[in-house]
Structure 1
Amino acid sequence: MQKQALWSRDFISICISSFFVFMNFYILAVTLPKFVVEELHGSQADIGLVTTVFVIAGIIFRPITGKWLDERSRKKILFAGLIIFTICSVLYLFIADFNLLLALRIVHGIGFGMAATATSAIAVDTVPLDRKGQGIGYFSLFMSLAMVVGPFVGLTIAASYNFTVLFVWCTAFSFLSMVFGMMTRIPARAAKIRLQRSWHWRSFIELKALPISLSGCVLAFSYGAITTFLSVYSNEIGLEAYASYFFMVFAAAILISRPFTGRVFDRLGEHVLVYPGIALFVIGMIGLSQVSQPGVFLLTGAIIGLGFGALLPSFQTIAVRASSSGNSGLATGTYFVLFDSGYALGSYVLGVIAAQSSYRTMYLTGGFIVALTYITYYTLHHRKQMKVTDKDVSTQTETADAAL
């Protein structure tokens, strides 16, 4: 039988929509601290608060959006999220007070949580059933590219122009995300799914996705140290000129590995990717904690990129496959709630460790914490999977014996 096409018009358009959402996110992530200090005369604590309220709002609305996606019109949920996200991008042009900025960041975080969860869940639905791993891998690649392109574009604009120009570009990227999102044809959900509405806490969480989501939380805990502190760390060890190249190498490793990791997942299963991926991430983090030469510094970026590139789409695919029928949106929301929570908590805790010791100690600690993913993955997912397989084999053997 001929395989269904992966790169359909709808899959491409939803991937591009997600790319521009995350472009906006990463541009503001690296430029708002400067805006708070220079334009609003805020403090270092204010910078942290601007980030925190955005992340918390996104975390809260991810499971709510996941529930809505499985019960209501996915097209309406996607459009609502993208429209809120775009309107908020426009409003940055009129901010002249820190309290107004905080309020805007809360609403913008809501729009981000809705848009990011909706695009991810819809991308899963546009991928053929037998190519889920490959499709989610390519989808997450667009997010990874935004992680590199966004900071570069944001810092370049901020250095060459004023914040008005920067926010105009953010508005343009948000508008493009809305255009490509609206171009996506989204199949209607079954009526019986949309009618199952409840406000019990279990209706916001896909319980079957929790085990692998907890592994994603542990992974994100250490990943936060890379995106949050790498520029400061590179300055401390005299490699500040190579910080931007680190992220380029990191993204290149993900880009190079992504085509074959998705195929390996679909053909050989998740374990072939997850265990080597964790090992690469641990080796890269420990190496980063000891680095002093530019070449080794960039090499650790490549190693971490290969590990992260194998793990992130694998964990998300496992979460979706483990979910109940029709609950892919809820599973996606559950996974990213825990991933984002780990990211936020890790950024704070590892930052405290760095303040009390050093950045080298922080990255070394981060490497050991990533190693804990081995334990959570094997205990919560792999071992449970083996028990199910053994039970199925035993049942089949008993059936065969009875037939004889």
Structure 2
Amino acid sequence: MMIPELPAYLTKLGGQEYIGLIIALFTFTAGVSRPFSGKITDTVGRVPVMAFGSLVCFICGFLYPYLLTVGGFLTLRLIHGFSTGTKPTATSAYVADVVPANRRGEAMGMLGLFTAMGMSLGPAIGSWLATDFSMNVMFWTSSAFALLSIGILLQMPETLVNTQPFRFSLLRLKKDEIFDKNALPPFIVLLLQSFSSGVILTVISAVSASLGVTNKGLFFTVYTVASLVVRVVFSKTSDRYGRLPVLFISTAVLAVSMVLLILTDSPAWFWTSAIVYGMSWGMNSPTVTAWTADLSDEKTRGRAMATMYIALEAGIGLGALGAGWLLNNVVGEAGIDASFAVSGVLALVAVGYLGWLWQKGRRVASHQTNEADDMALLDGEP
């Protein structure tokens, strides 16, 4: 709800040069907290971690109107990141617990469907509240929604078997508890993909203003609606054809969306870019999550999900910092175009990596099939 309005809000507080930190600080805390949330998700339980994330959203949304200095605002953004550092990790592990492996892609697509509904409505409603009422009303409304989510979470059954009570010793991490090596391929892909998200979150409000689009949240609404439609129509695709082929195509579409944003010089191009961008993430997000679940060990699924989300936060944070630097150091629209160009190049690198993994997997499968045929012949089978 609040993201589209925060750059202008921080500028009014006198912190225009810190616009890149709006997202960067948030994602920094989220990324740092991921290993801890992964461990606690695998020990204390999925539901308590989800509830903690929503509680942070509730508290921070309530406090924004009272911290009216640049330092206070940025400190709150840093704390607010704990919400994203905890809840999605536990949510993804919870969903993976309750669905069969051969329907994970579909299930993650449905999870993403409801996420997309919130993301499509939130920015537009937030901008409307800020414009027609006040920023404070927008902040408090977001806080109220977080409180509602806590009420729902407290009614959900725990899916983790053999839960432990929380104790502070759980916050001491061993080296092998920080990063799940099984999730390395999704980590690399999502890191490269999510740079574009940091760029979008940082610069799209400026692009909206330059084109005369007064509601800065509408780009987010259009792209999340497009992603919602893709999730509904193609939710079973990665279960049927495999994670890598789907990610190869959807990441290529992500690169195309960045090119379209560079070419944008009218509202028509702007909305077209939003639709294409949404289409790419409509397939990327649930497929990467299902892929991570596939590669994870059931006992450390929370850690694997946390590793994946570290990549998401790192990519978004780097994208936000890069875009913020370019906005402050490159004159005019060239800085915005350069941000989109870097995002497009990184997406193409991800396409190349996915293509290599895909071909490697096909070669291994072909070799295993040939070995099975040879063994059948030796055993006298036709």
- State the TM-score bracket (shorter-chain normalisation): 0.7 to 0.9
**Matching residue within 347, 369, 372 for 1:370:** 347
Q: Structure 1 residue 257: deviation in Å? A: 1.2
Q: Corresponding residue for 1:151?
A: 123
Q: Corresponding residue for 1:87?
A: 59
Identity %: 24
Q: Corresponding residue for 2:221?
A: 248
Q: Corresponding residue for 1:278?
A: 251
Deviation string 1:50-77 (CA, Å, 9 cap, x unpaired) is 5433221111111211122122322333
**TM-score, normalised to structure 1's length?**
0.82
Deviation string 1:178-212 (CA, Å, 9 cap, x unpaired) is 111112222232479x9xx7732221211111112
RMSD over equivalenced CA pairs, Å: 2.7
**Matching residue within 300, 309, 312 for 1:336:** 309
- Of 181-190 and 208-217, more deviation after overlay is shown by 181-190
Q: Corresponding residue for 1:53?
A: 25
Distance in 1 (CA, whole Å) between partners of 2:261 and 2:4 is: 22
Unmatched 5+ residue regions in structure 1? 1-26
Deviation string 1:92-116 (CA, Å, 9 cap, x unpaired) is 3543444444443333222331123
- Of 136-145 and 331-340, more deviation after overlay is shown by 136-145
Q: Corresponding residue for 2:107?
A: 135
Aligned: 1:382 with 2:358 = yes
Q: Corresponding residue for 1:226?
A: 200
Aligned: 1:42 with 2:14 = yes
Which letter maps to 2:343?
Answer: G
* Alpha carbons of structure 1 residues 104 and 290: separation in structure 2 relative to 1, 3 Å: closer
Q: Structure 1 residue 338: deviation in Å? A: 0.6
Q: Corresponding residue for 1:257?
A: 230
- Please say if residues 124 and 216 of structure 2, whose CA atoms lie closer than 8 Å, have aligned partners that are also in contact: no
Q: Structure 1 residue 398: deviation in Å? A: 4.4
Distance in 1 (CA, whole Å) between partners of 2:239 and 2:141 is: 38
- Please say if residues 351 and 362 of structure 1, whose CA atoms lie closer than 8 Å, have aligned partners that are also in contact: no
Indicate the SS of the match to 2:158.
Answer: coil
Aligned: 1:311 with 2:284 = yes
Q: Structure 1 residue 335: deviation in Å? A: 0.7
Q: Structure 1 residue 171: deviation in Å? A: 2.0
* Alpha carbons of structure 1 residues 71 and 393: separation in structure 2 relative to 1, 3 Å: farther
Unmatched 5+ residue regions in structure 2? none
Aligned: 1:349 with 2:322 = yes
**Matching residue within 36, 44, 52 for 1:72:** 44
**TM-score, normalised to structure 2's length?**
0.86
Q: Corresponding residue for 2:368?
A: 392
Which letter maps to 1:118?
Answer: A
Aligned: 1:112 with 2:81 = no
Indicate the SS of the match to 2:2.
Answer: helix
Which letter maps to 2:105?
Answer: G
- Please say if residues 212 and 319 of structure 1, whose CA atoms lie closer than 8 Å, have aligned partners that are also in contact: yes
**Matching residue within 254, 276, 288 for 2:261:** 288
Q: Structure 1 residue 219: deviation in Å? A: 0.7
Select the structure with the greater relative contact order (CA < 8 A; seq sep ≥ 6): 2
* Alpha carbons of structure 1 residues 28 and 347: separation in structure 2 relative to 1, 3 Å: same
**Matching residue within 130, 133, 140 for 1:168:** 140
Distance in 2 (CA, whole Å) between partners of 1:289 and 1:190 is: 52
**Matching residue within 215, 218, 238 for 2:189:** 215
- Please say if residues 242 and 294 of structure 1, whose CA atoms lie closer than 8 Å, have aligned partners that are also in contact: no
Deviation string 1:15-49 (CA, Å, 9 cap, x unpaired) is xxxxxxxxxxxx232334444444xx332134444
Aligned: 1:29 with 2:3 = yes
Which letter maps to 1:95?
Answer: L
- Please say if residues 287 and 300 of structure 1, whose CA atoms lie closer than 8 Å, have aligned partners that are also in contact: yes
Which letter maps to 2:207?
Answer: Y
Distance in 2 (CA, whole Å) between partners of 1:288 and 1:314 is: 24
Which letter maps to 1:348?
Answer: L
Which letter maps to 1:174?
Answer: A
Which letter maps to 2:106?
Answer: Q
Q: Structure 1 residue 282: deviation in Å? A: 2.0
* Alpha carbons of structure 1 residues 211 and 171: separation in structure 2 relative to 1, 3 Å: same
- Of 150-159 and 290-299, more deviation after overlay is shown by 290-299
Indicate the SS of the match to 2:154.
Answer: helix
How many positions carry a matched residue from both structures?
Answer: 371
